[in-house]
Structure 1
Amino acid sequence: MKKLSLKYILLFRSFSFSNWFILAILVIGVLAPFLANDKPIISIQNHNISFPFFSNEKYLENTAAFEVWPLIPYHSQSLDFKNMNSVGPFEEQVVPSLYYRHWLGTDELGRDLLAGLIHGCHTAIWVGFGAMAIALIIGVFLGGIAGYFGDSTYRIHKAKWISCLAFLLLTALFIPNLIPWNWAEIPFIEKATQTILFTMLFLFLSAVLYFILNRFQAYKKSISIPVDLIISRCIEIMETIPLLFLIIALSAIFSPSYWSLIGIIGISSWTSIAKFMRAEVLKIRQKDYVESGFALGLSNIQIMKNHVLPNALNPIYINLSFGIAAAILIEATLSFLGLGMGVEQVSWGSILASSRADYTSWWLAVYPGVLLFLTLYSLNQIGDKLSK
């Protein structure tokens, strides 16, 4: 028991400012709807317990016998018409009590800044971790197979290779031309249906081509695929395109939403993870225990799953801290430029953008700017410590 207590004491003392700050941002981000909301969490009326917090209907105040309200009685989109036109935190405010005071001020529309910052933590966490989760999956997969198979290990029949290449070419050449210009206005179900139908059609055509070619003896021979070369060239092509311009171009195609922004940043940020993964797998591929796995007749999937991946992922986790910081910064930049999420979603970047309308409203620039700086600084500090 004493050893366990000592372990937790040492863990507590080893936490620096950066660790505690990121932990606080995580807690605030997860609990944001409970901390800042214009509806009570619990309401008791006529001996019935309800949770207006989970309802989309407008809540009528002072109608319940007992209510439990959040710490901040404002949502990020709540409008206070009595405190519009950017009321400062130290200025006189028209509020019924101190509980309803805007402690960090309001913006031009009367929205509470503290509620916006709290919900901005929620946005930053989900965008940062969500985008890097997508980038991690893509980067680990492509970097892993590039380092494991190299340029001569993976062999495939000519007929299968030509069929796969035909499918990729059909998808790359025809689907962009079949997408209408008003793609962002098309309902999601229609988008998914169109994409699935065209993909199924191209798969069918590729399968027909495979069965035709497989009848000829010349196309039954195996050839080696330069997997490493192909993926390395794809990484180089992605890195030659400025990341911000690529994300802006993709944002113009897809409708501005919470999940589309996460997907766009994730799809655009996998190259650094793929390079790290490729380098680690190339190094591990030469180890004796991997060669022993081949000698024992283990399959490629078994070797990758049980021997290569567990040893290759540790350095990748270090890179995630920097990647999350980059994703948060990209989201803030896009929101500042008006290219991020919709108007119903608040972020630190959108709050910073609102300060451009009135340069005297210093609180709209200082508080989100300091919060963004400390978050990026803390994540980079954690990454530096993990890399040592």
Structure 2
Amino acid sequence: MAIRRISDIFGGRRHLLFSGLLLVLLFVFLLDLLVIDHIFGPFVYFYLFFTLLIIFYGIYPLYVNRRLTRYYWERTKRHRLAVIGLSFIIFLVAVAILGPFLTQDPTEVDFPNKNLPPVGFSAEQAIYDRNTGNFITTETPGTWHHPLGTDDKGRDMLAMLVSGTRISLQVGLMATLIAIFIGLIMGVVSAYLGGWADNALMRFTDIMMTFPFFLLLVFIVFIFGPSLWFIILAIGLTGWTGTARLVRSEALSLRTRDFIMASKSLGASDRRIVFRHLIPNVLSSVIVIATLSIPGVILAEAALSFIGLGDPTVTSWGLVLHAGQRSLDTAWWIAVEPGIMLFLTVLAFNFLGDGIRDAFDPRSQV
């Protein structure tokens, strides 16, 4: 009975079209993986999947409900810190997209120019004198060829920060979307079906919540390897519990409302009730928790890289921080610059999340 109701819940033309495109994408992925021999990397298919997800369940609902979208945007604009946060996030997205075309290769080594300070600063460097066979200490200024300086291997700090921006946004957005998607499905199905299904799903959620999130994340990455792919999946597959409980709580209160009971009495299907009434009424809370979850995900990836469990093949902020801790006394900028970027990014998402929460709260006076 419960299985039949689940199949009825997740029907609909838009959802069937999305499912069909998803099956096509899965077929192409398997064809590329097993037959064509990896023309595209897994992240390309990841991007395509999340692009479809955002178009069908993000952009399209905003376009259909333009009046409501305009209303919430006007309320969000009154929260000045949220506008500042959104502006910085847009800047980060532009840097992640355009930066790789405008900067050097972050892995390119310029060893003669190692430990160069940023423009406007100078630092002492020990240079080997072949004539005397001794090291001579000189004051080296920053150059515009490396405006933010270089690390202890001569790699350009600006290029590494740009690469770190792209990696952080990838991990933050993808892992959060995975967690939100799982949490939304678990919460809605649990609340709407009730009975043994609700008990089973919530007990499983409780079991997942008993494990320390970061330790579980470290264990998964340690077992399967420090690949960025596994880091995203690990964060997404372990970070959905809070969303599931929040969605279930709100869906339980909505399930007994008059408009839900009226829809049932008029013969509305389970699918229509869930997608027309339940999910739209919990989306505001889901959007808020998603926005506020992204900085935590970014910090989790940075922490993994900092302790040596990050993907060594990509240049992330945490990896740069890990490298910079060894030379804080002589090359402070190696650790300070990615630290500032992490701080500003987390602050921007928190500002935006607070603004969206106030905009969706009818009791707020923003």
Pairwise TM-score range, normalised by the shorter structure:
0.5 to 0.7
Counterpart selection for 1:269 from 222, 234, 239: 239
Aligned mates of 2:99, 2:223 — CA distance in 1: 30
Question: Per-residue deviation at 1:337?
Answer: 0.7
What is the identity, as a one-letter code, of the residue corresponding to 2:220?
L
Counterpart selection for 2:261 from 258, 277, 291: 291
Contact 1:121–1:347 (CA under 8 A) maintained in structure 2: yes
Counterpart selection for 2:289 from 319, 343, 356: 319
- Superposed, 1:279-358 pairs within 5 Å as 279-341=249-311, 343-358=312-327
The 10-residue stretch of structure 1 (15-24 or 347-356) with the greater mean CA deviation from structure 2: 15-24
Contact 1:144–1:277 (CA under 8 A) maintained in structure 2: yes
What is the identity, as a one-letter code, of the residue corresponding to 1:22?
I
Question: Per-residue deviation at 1:293?
Answer: 2.0
Counterpart selection for 1:21 from 60, 65, 88: 88
SS at match of 1:277: helix
Q: What is the match of residue 252 of structure 1? A: 222
Q: What is the match of residue 135 of structure 1? A: 179
Aligned mates of 1:24, 1:82 — CA distance in 2: 32
Larger radius of gyration: 1
Contact 2:95–2:165 (CA under 8 A) maintained in structure 1: yes
> Is 2:215 the counterpart of 1:148?
no
Would you tell me which structure has more helix in proportion to its own residues? 2
Q: What is the match of residue 78 of structure 1? A: 108
Q: What is the match of residue 117 of structure 2? A: 88
What is the identity, as a one-letter code, of the residue corresponding to 1:327?
V
Contact 2:291–2:352 (CA under 8 A) maintained in structure 1: yes
> Is 2:101 the counterpart of 1:34?
yes
Q: What is the match of residue 169 of structure 1? A: none
Question: Per-residue deviation at 1:356?
Answer: 2.1
Aligned mates of 1:359, 1:308 — CA distance in 2: 53
SS at match of 1:16: helix
Aligned mates of 2:216, 2:101 — CA distance in 1: 36
Question: Per-residue deviation at 1:275?
Answer: 1.1
- Superposed, 1:373-388 pairs within 5 Å as 373-388=343-358
Unpaired segments ≥5 residues, structure 2:
1-69, 128-141, 359-366
The 10-residue stretch of structure 1 (276-285 or 21-30) with the greater mean CA deviation from structure 2: 21-30
Alignment RMSD = 2.5
Q: What is the match of residue 53 of structure 1? A: none
Q: What is the match of residue 101 of structure 1? A: 145
Q: What is the match of residue 111 of structure 1? A: 155
Contact 2:77–2:83 (CA under 8 A) maintained in structure 1: no
**Which deviations, in whole Å up to 9, do the C-alpha atoms of 1:348-378 show, x marking residues without a partner?**
1111000122222100111111111111112
Unpaired segments ≥5 residues, structure 1:
37-73, 152-225
Question: Per-residue deviation at 1:30?
Answer: 2.2
Question: Per-residue deviation at 1:281?
Answer: 0.7
Contact 1:247–1:265 (CA under 8 A) maintained in structure 2: yes
**Which deviations, in whole Å up to 9, do the C-alpha atoms of 1:114-138 show, x marking residues without a partner?**
1100111101111000001100110
What is the identity, as a one-letter code, of the residue corresponding to 1:136?
I
Question: Per-residue deviation at 1:238?
Answer: 1.3
Compared CA separation, residues 242 and 12, structure 1 to 2 (3 A) = closer
Question: Per-residue deviation at 1:299?
Answer: 2.2
Question: Per-residue deviation at 1:268?
Answer: 1.0
Contact 1:32–1:121 (CA under 8 A) maintained in structure 2: no
Aligned mates of 2:111, 2:324 — CA distance in 1: 19
Aligned mates of 1:16, 1:81 — CA distance in 2: 42
Contact 1:80–1:110 (CA under 8 A) maintained in structure 2: yes
Q: What is the match of residue 134 of structure 2? A: none
SS at match of 1:291: helix
- Superposed, 1:178-189 pairs within 5 Å as none
Q: What is the match of residue 368 of structure 1? A: 338
Question: Per-residue deviation at 1:99?
Answer: 8.6
Counterpart selection for 1:124 from 168, 172, 188: 168
What is the identity, as a one-letter code, of the residue corresponding to 2:108?
S
Aligned residues: 266
What is the identity, as a one-letter code, of the residue corresponding to 1:33?
P
Question: Per-residue deviation at 1:11?
Answer: 5.4
Question: Per-residue deviation at 1:12?
Answer: 10
Contact 2:111–2:153 (CA under 8 A) maintained in structure 1: yes
Contact 2:184–2:247 (CA under 8 A) maintained in structure 1: yes
Contact 2:100–2:159 (CA under 8 A) maintained in structure 1: no
Question: Per-residue deviation at 1:344?
Answer: 2.1
Question: Per-residue deviation at 1:35?
Answer: 2.6
Aligned mates of 1:258, 1:293 — CA distance in 2: 45
**Which deviations, in whole Å up to 9, do the C-alpha atoms of 1:226-271 show, x marking residues without a partner?**
1222222122211111111100110012232222211111111101
What is the identity, as a one-letter code, of the residue corresponding to 2:190?
A
**TM-score, structure 1 as length reference:** 0.64
